[in-house]
Chain A
Amino acid sequence: MKKVYVDEKWCLGCHLCEYNCAFANSGISNMVKALKNKPIYPRVHIEESDKITYAVSCRHCEDPICVKSCISGALSIKDGVICIDHDKCIGCLTCILVCPYGAVAQGENGVVQKCELCLENSCGSPACVAGCPNNAIIYEER
């Protein structure tokens, strides 16, 4: 299955992936309209330490603890992709606590959001990958 992988060797820490992610999931066709003067809630975020930068997003684990720990059944696996049903999420944040990667976060409206590989939005493939200027984020079969 194709997944998003990150090579910190090439990550520049420019944070463009975050903006591309937030835009892709906004449902709005214009980036300025979607993001201007608003806090953004991307599903990928850059972690930085000692000049190393790394774009963190859901690893789509084969045996995901988040899914196991979800008390409302909002998290599920569809064809290998870990998906979230926003209507079922009750915002208990257990998944955030258990995710070893810190790839799950609270969204704008209180419920949890996470990377779903842009399969559910209009992009069809991860926007962070398409917008990365240095091929640091790649979407491929391994």
Chain B
Amino acid sequence: MQNIYINPEFEVIRNENRCIKCRVCERQCANEVHSYDADLNLLISDETKCVNCQRCVSLCPTKALKIVKNDCRLRENANWSDSTIKEIYKQASSGGVLLSSMGNPNPLPVYWDKILINASQVTNPPIDPLREPMETKVFLGKKPEKVQRDKNGNLICNTPPQLELSMPVMFSAMSYGSISYNAHASLARAATELGILYNTGEGGLHEDFYCYGKNTIVQVASGRFGVHKDYLEAGAAVEIKMGQGAKPGIGGHLPGAKIVGDVSRTRMIPEGSDAISPAPHHDIYSIEDLRQLVFSLKEATEYQKPIIVKVAAVHNIAAIASGIARSGADIIAIDGFRGGTGAAPTRIRDNVGIPIELALASVDSRLREEGIRNNVSLVVGGSIRSASDVVKAIALGADACYIATAAVLALGCHLCRTCQTGKCNWGIATQNPELVKRLNPDIGSQHLINLMTAWKHEIKELMGGMGINSIEALKGNRLMLRGVGLNDRELSILGISHAGE
């Protein structure tokens, strides 16, 4: 039964003066919004199906199309917003949990936008990155506590395994299954070219991508999909996924419809079966259990690879991170509440977790207070949107950032937030071969390389302005930050002064 209460969210505006009836829109819309009526010689739209992914808009050769918000609105009510009411209609009709994709879209505070960066004037000189060396290389991993020397007095270079990155940004976990083969190919190729790393997510590693292993983080999540000896050995690091910023406290559910062909083989589960990741790892109910898994993975990889533990930013994150820092893990990845997802219950995505800025600041401070900051490197994600977000994160205390939404945007994602339907018109969050082929990895990887190269230039410009010529001198350098419009409590958690102070 159709839900008669819900009006189409968008309106397709077709400029008939421009439309040449080429029917590209019709061919390119997997949601079947557009169709050609030969009798009328007109393209017509079924707007109930439109998700505003803008594929048709982008490909229309005469720019005859635009998608606008349907201005047919319910009577205004500051308490009962249009979307809240529609969600009620949906649930009244379906009886189900609401699903959403990508990051929390609600107008909660974005602290990055309330933090400003310093620059040098007079008392010390800014540095021009075009004329002077400017270093962005970082090493992630545990650092030895004490220098050791051999009997001749020479330094013993006893550094535990490290990840070397040409810049402090990595592509964060997106599983093969939730995103397409071509999306993974693009990420793997770009990471290799850039000298950074991408992350397999929890769906295993397609055999075609083992060749990118040096630039791959292999993930072990609660479902243990696709985890086997060769997989663990293939990557440069192993990440234990305890949680995800978009859906802290719950697992994942990749519908059976997406478990086809290579996805099924890579995940090592039967075709058509739902891939359900439990909320907890059922062998980890406490911190001491985590330590066992950390060391199991270290044993399996002969202590050659750093182990990352990824957690969602939740209220008690500082204490949790402190526990992880003592668990033997080499790197902690923290995912903030604005982080993306291929599918999450709407209520969880929009209401659970805390902003990454505050989580990062409190974790970094806590680990320093305990004198264990060197035990681990900190990687943060959950809506790092630009080079300036990266710089602010590093100055707050991160070693590197994870980006995923920004990366899929570079691949063409238009943030329509309907990944869960599997009909991604951009060939990213889909397993439909017709749609997957829309993402040519030659183009995709090049766009990722371009984006990271651009960010690297910008990071260098911002560093140069501060008179800093190496990224390690920026790490935790909170004096380079000032807040605007933040209250004392927020400033004290962030460990920064207000602008003007």
Contact = CB atoms under 8 A, between A and B. Distances in A.
A and B touch in the complex (CB under 8 A): yes
Interface of A: 9-10, 12-16, 18-20, 23, 31-32, 35-37, 51, 131, 133-136
A36 B62 CA distance: 10
A20 B59 CA distance: 12
Contacts of B23: 15
A16 B27 CA distance: 10
Question: Which of A19, A20, A37, A133 is most buried by chain B, counting CB atoms within 10 A of its CB?
Answer: A133
B434 interface: yes
Contacts of A10: 437, 440
Given A14-B24, A51-B434, 16 more contacts: A10-B437, A12-B438, A13-B27, A14-B28, A14-B59, A16-B24, A16-B61, A20-B61, A32-B17, A32-B20, A36-B18, A133-B58, A133-B59, A134-B440, A135-B442, A136-B440
B434 A134 contact: no
A32 B18 contact: yes
B473 interface: no
Contacts of A20: 61
B443 interface: yes
27 contacts: A9-B437, A10-B440, A12-B28, A12-B437, A12-B438, A14-B24, A14-B28, A15-B22, A15-B24, A15-B27, A16-B22, A18-B22, A19-B20, A19-B22, A19-B61, A20-B61, A31-B61, A32-B17, A36-B20, A51-B433, A133-B58, A133-B59, A134-B437, A134-B438, A134-B440, A135-B440, A136-B440
B24, B59, B61, B442: residue with the most chain A Cβ atoms closer than 10 Å: B61
Given A9-B437, A19-B22, A14 B27 contact: yes
A37 B20 CA distance: 7
Contacts of B58: 133
Interface in B424-477: 433-434, 437-438, 440, 442-443
Contact of A131 (B19, B61, B443): B61
Contacts of A13: 27
Nearest to B412: A133
Nearest to A30: B62
B34 to A, nearest CB: 12
Interface string B302-336: 00000000000000000000000000000000000
A9 B28 CA distance: 16
Contacts of B17: 32
Contacts of B433: 51
Contacts of A37: 20
Nearest to A38: B20
B41 to A, nearest CB: 8
Nearest to A12: B438
A19 B434 CA distance: 22
Interface in B1-23: 17-20, 22-23
A16 B440 CA distance: 17
A43 to B, nearest CB: 16
B362 to A, nearest CB: 45
Q: Which 8 pairs from chain A and chain B are nearest by CB?
A: A35-B20, A10-B440, A134-B440, A19-B22, A36-B20, A135-B440, A14-B24, A32-B62
Contacts of A19: 20, 22, 24, 61
Nearest to B58: A133
Q: B20, B27, B59: which has the most chain A beta carbons within 10 Å?
A: B20
B29 to A, nearest CB: 11
Interface in B124-173: none
Nearest to A20: B61
Contacts of B62: 31-32
Nearest to A138: B442
Interface string B173-185: 0000000000000
Contact of B20 (A31, A51, A136): A31
A98 B224 CA distance: 59
Interface centre among B23, B58, B437 (most CB of A within 10 A): B437
A9 B23 CA distance: 21
Contacts of A131: 61
A103 B211 CA distance: 40
A75 B114 CA distance: 68
Nearest to A31: B62
Contacts of A135: 440, 442-443
B20 to A, nearest CB: 4
Nearest to B28: A14
